[in-house]
Chains A and B, each alone.
Chain A
Amino acid sequence: EVQLAESGGGLVQPGRSLRLSCAASGFTSGFTFSRFSMNWVRQAPGKGLEWVSYISSGSADVYYADSVRGRFTISRDNAQNSLYLQMNSLRVDDTAVYYCARASHDIGDKFYMDVWGKGTAVTVSS
């Protein structure tokens, strides 16, 4: 069974930094982390889902939501089967549960999110 496990969340003051990690497992089920693109999605308390960032399997392509561009950096280490989100200059409105989600290939260059981790909570407050 494919599993994703986020970590690194916590309470941080505005303006500070935090690094989230997402560890992938389930390789006996045929999941090869290095072959999949990945995403980060967040959900503020009591709110809906907001896509944050995408990274392709080999890290060549990355995309960001306008709300985090220039402050957050997505990266991955395929040798470690891990995905990361470096969050700098954190703001109160970055408070959310952050999920990593696997991107499976649909048609052409389109990817849908099919497997999600349980999330890690980030609280930005003074």
Chain B
Amino acid sequence: DIQMTQSPSSLSASVGDRVTITCRASQDIDNYLAWFQQKAGEAPKSLIYAAFALNSGVPSKFGGSRSGTDFTLTITNLQPEDFATYYCQQYKSYPYTFGQGTKLEMK
């Protein structure tokens, strides 16, 4: 199985900040990497697929990048509605696997 190691597990930031979340795959997954946002008590919401592509309706303040097996989610100009838990997920092969999640909290 492909392991997805996500860091940090938690992150404290302020409104207006720019933050970065990293996900490392245990093997090559090409660009088959998705990012999700989950707010407390809600279902996950798809943000990014194919490592870089924004899902429909997702603002451009969210961005994805890749360097080898390392993937990054960047969020700029943090707003109160952005404080949530973020997950990465590989869909290169079954079983699909998720990172452990990063809880983004307001400082």
Contacts and interface: CB of A to CB of B under 8 A. Distances in A.
Interface in B28-55: 32, 34, 36, 38, 42-46, 49-50, 55
Contact of A114 (B46, B87, B98, B101): B46
B97 interface: yes
Interface string B70-107: 00000000000000000101011011111111000000
A33 interface: no
Given A49-B87, A106-B32, A106-B50, A116 B43 contact: yes
A51 B50 CA distance: 18
Interface in A38-66: 39, 41, 48-51, 54, 63-66
A112 interface: yes
Contact of B44 (A64, A99, A110): A99
A122 to B, nearest CB: 15
Contact of B91 (A106, A117, A118): A106
A116 B34 contact: no
A36 interface: no
B32 A110 contact: yes
B98 A48 contact: yes
A99 B46 CA distance: 13
Contacts of B55: 114
Contacts of A65: 95
Contacts of A51: 89, 95-98
In the complex, the 6 A-B pairs of residues with the closest C-beta atoms, listed nearest first: A51-B96, A112-B49, A63-B94, A116-B43, A49-B98, A114-B46
Given A66-B95, A106-B32, 9 more contacts: A48-B99, A51-B89, A51-B96, A54-B94, A63-B94, A65-B95, A107-B50, A112-B32, A112-B50
Interface of B: 32, 34, 36, 38, 42-46, 49-50, 55, 87, 89, 91-92, 94-101
